[in-house]
Structure 1
Amino acid sequence: MDEVIALYYFQAANVKKIKQYTFIIVIAFFTAVFLYVESLNNFSVFSTMTGPKAVYKGERDLALTFNIGWGDVRAKPILETLKKEKVRAATFFVSGSWAERHPELVAQIVKQGYEIGILGYGYKDYTSMEEQEIARDISKAQDVFRKLNVKNIELLRSPTGHFDKNLLKVADRYGYSVVHWSLDSKDWTNPGVQEIVTNIEDVEDGDIILLHASDSAKQTARALPQIIDSVQSKNLKFVSVSEMIANSSTKTEEIK
């Protein structure tokens, strides 16, 4: 009888221990999941497992970026506004086809001391293309900028904003950093000057702002002074994307 009782208490103790261990494992699992999800909020770089990256946020300062793919009306007023507002650092992602048609505006961007990145050659969705096709489009853009004597281009942005591991691998092969953005002004939708300003009012250290200098963005030049005031009111410093990358530490998330 005593042996039966002892066995009962032994089994009960084991069950209790198993429950305790199970509870600890479950808590540890959900804690790990929580910490992982929280860490995603701080990611500033997308990457493949092998290393190529796409930057969308830095650690400090602020980068104004402008996409230019077509048109000959909007770019010049934006350049004039930046000069008038004494903004000494900005990054223009320019398509090769646009640069080919407007070498004088490319020269003005360079003269004003702004950084140039490649926006491909034509307006193409790189996620629908094979690596060889992406490489050909980038090479075509490279040839244009080489002829225009624009040197030391280190940045690349997907024309449509969409990218995958194929683009990251091609960009890495060419020595480019792929650049996305953390704040979208949505200026190309022409929602009104105040709406464009409102879209970036939560700007903070490390943000990369997406703006456009193509003819589709009809209100950007008028919104720009207010955007600049908003940034400066928060004591944020304008830098080029390359400066931001150089001055930042980053984390990575794998691109499938």
Structure 2
Amino acid sequence: MRTPIMLLIIILFTILSGCSAKKSLPNEELPSNSNEVHPKEVSLSSFEIEQIMKLASNGMVIDSPFSIFESSIQQVKSSWGEPDQIDEVAGGSYATYKERNTVFGFNQYGEIYDVRSYNKNLQELKMEKIKHELGQPKDIRENNQESIYVYEMKNKTELKFIFSNDLKSVDHISIYNPGRFETKQYTLDIKGNSNQLSVKAWESMKNWREEIKQFSVEHPSVYVNGPNKKMVALTFDDGPDEKITPAIINILNDYNVKGNFFFLGSNVKLHPEVVKQAFESGHLVLSHSFNHVELSKLGKSEVEKEVKRAGEEIQSVIGKMPAILRTPYGDTNDQVVNVSKEQGYSIVLWSIDTLDWSQKDATNIVKNVVDNVRNGDIILMHSDSDKMETEKALPLMIESLEKMNFEIVELETLLNIKAYQ
């Protein structure tokens, strides 16, 4: 027979053993900062689905702090470095960061419109689970390889669960902002007239304008205009020279306006002091090739040489390699685009041609701008030695644009791209 003292000892031992035993919790109940649990071991419960929805409402997905409402691919690169790869699709580009399980879709202005997470935990989510927690999706899109469940969020953004048809589980999720994607589709008609063009020349120009506009839609690294914001850019081709280019620089400085100079490498070699003046005044010094030839008529090695020589000539003067190229005559094809990208260039053309090279008249130059200006216009002028009327027109143009409340900016700001490599 056990004594009361023995019974008391047994009871105390049992209580103490229970208190010291480690409680076993299911993975989803473990604290997020536990060092004993690898993230892939945490199952996706209702709580995690709620977290996915909460992040999505702010334009984000798991693993990424970047938003489809306000982030840019430049911000991603500044924080995460260069992506493993960039793939172009019609209307946009996609940057892949493999180690971070994240892909960003961005438009031609660098604005992020799609963020995708490939976090392996997502594979635990099944179709039935998603529908049970979130209800019936707004839309289900299917193809041979996958099914996409689309849930509409605020501001008409979409949260998408992409299911593998083989596994019937989530492959990845996407938060998508169609408003930012459609910004790429804001492509302006190219404006500007001259009474000095023959009927044949005018028809040829109109055809080129339509063709290059469509070409820019299909090639995200080719720009005809900027976004639908009340900003414009003033650009000047064919310089530098010893007279007109310095005069234009001085006018821009007087009005505290930044310009964009597409210099020919051959002229940079002749007038390096003018190039330095433009750069030190805060204007962008960009490339217009070396010899001003039709690049589409050259072989690949010749195109490479034209672009490379011009960049190196500019770099020898300002210490920086340009990252923006304007092709002579706007002459651009797939080969020119590919060579430019290989050498680190975006191609920037124009949406208003002042025709200062044809109808050399200050009144017409200003009229071509004032009558046609729209949000995001890139305005083409020239700064070589016979453009006295352009010099005369520039102050009137700046004053007119400012009265219309347009902000005059450099291309780096307008297009959200790098000016220098």
| TM-score, scaled relative to structure 2 | 0.46
Query: What is the rounded CA distance, in whole Å, between the counterparts of 1:241 and 1:211 in structure 2?
Result: 14
Query: What is the rounded CA distance, in whole Å, between the counterparts of 1:43 and 1:199 in structure 2?
Result: 19
Gaps in structure 2 of 5+ consecutive residues: 1-182, 189-212
Q: Deviations over 1:98-156 (max 9, x none)?
A: 11110100010011100111000111111211221100111111221222133151100
User: By percentage of residues, which structure has more helix?
Assistant: 1
Q: 1:70 to 1:146 in 2, by over 3 A?
A: closer
Q: 1:184 to 1:214 in 2, by over 3 A?
A: same
Give 1:47 shift.
Answer: 4.5
Query: What is the rounded CA distance, in whole Å, between the counterparts of 1:183 and 1:48 in structure 2?
Result: 17
Deviates more, 1:231-240 or 1:188-197: 188-197
1:233 to 403, 410, 413: 403
The residue type equivalent to 1:83 in the other structure is N
Query: What is the rounded CA distance, in whole Å, between the counterparts of 2:393 and 2:216 in structure 1?
Result: 33
Bigger radius of gyration: 2
- Tell whether 2:239 aligns with 1:95: no
Structure 2 counterpart SS, 1:57: coil
Query: What is the rounded CA distance, in whole Å, between the counterparts of 2:353 and 2:408 in structure 1?
Result: 17
User: By percentage of residues, which structure has more strand?
Assistant: 2
Q: 1:108 to 1:160 in 2, by over 3 A?
A: same
Indicate the residue corresponding to 2:328 in structure 1: 159
Indicate the residue corresponding to 2:225 in structure 1: 57
Indicate the residue corresponding to 2:187 in structure 1: 43
User: Does the aligned pair in 2 maintain the 1:67–1:214 contact within 8 Å?
Assistant: yes
Indicate the residue corresponding to 1:179 in structure 2: 348
Q: 1:52 to 1:204 in 2, by over 3 A?
A: closer
User: Does the aligned pair in 2 maintain the 1:71–1:214 contact within 8 Å?
Assistant: yes
Query: What is the rounded CA distance, in whole Å, between the counterparts of 1:115 and 1:147 in structure 2?
Result: 15
| TM-score, scaled relative to structure 1 | 0.75
Indicate the residue corresponding to 1:210 in structure 2: 380
User: Does the aligned pair in 2 maintain the 1:69–1:119 contact within 8 Å?
Assistant: no
Equivalenced residues, count: 207
Percentage of matched positions with identical amino acids: 28
Indicate the residue corresponding to 1:130 in structure 2: 299
Indicate the residue corresponding to 1:3 in structure 2: none
The residue type equivalent to 1:206 in the other structure is G
Query: What is the rounded CA distance, in whole Å, between the counterparts of 1:48 and 1:63 in structure 2?
Result: 20
RMSD: 2.2
The residue type equivalent to 2:280 in the other structure is K
Indicate the residue corresponding to 2:362 in structure 1: 193
Query: What is the rounded CA distance, in whole Å, between the counterparts of 2:316 and 2:360 in structure 1?
Result: 37
Gaps in structure 1 of 5+ consecutive residues: 1-38, 248-256
User: Does the aligned pair in 2 maintain the 1:56–1:182 contact within 8 Å?
Assistant: yes
1:243 to 409, 413, 418: 413
The residue type equivalent to 1:119 in the other structure is H
Q: 1:66 to 1:96 in 2, by over 3 A?
A: same
Q: Deviations over 1:48-91 (max 9, x none)?
A: 86x5621011112110001124642211111111111221x211
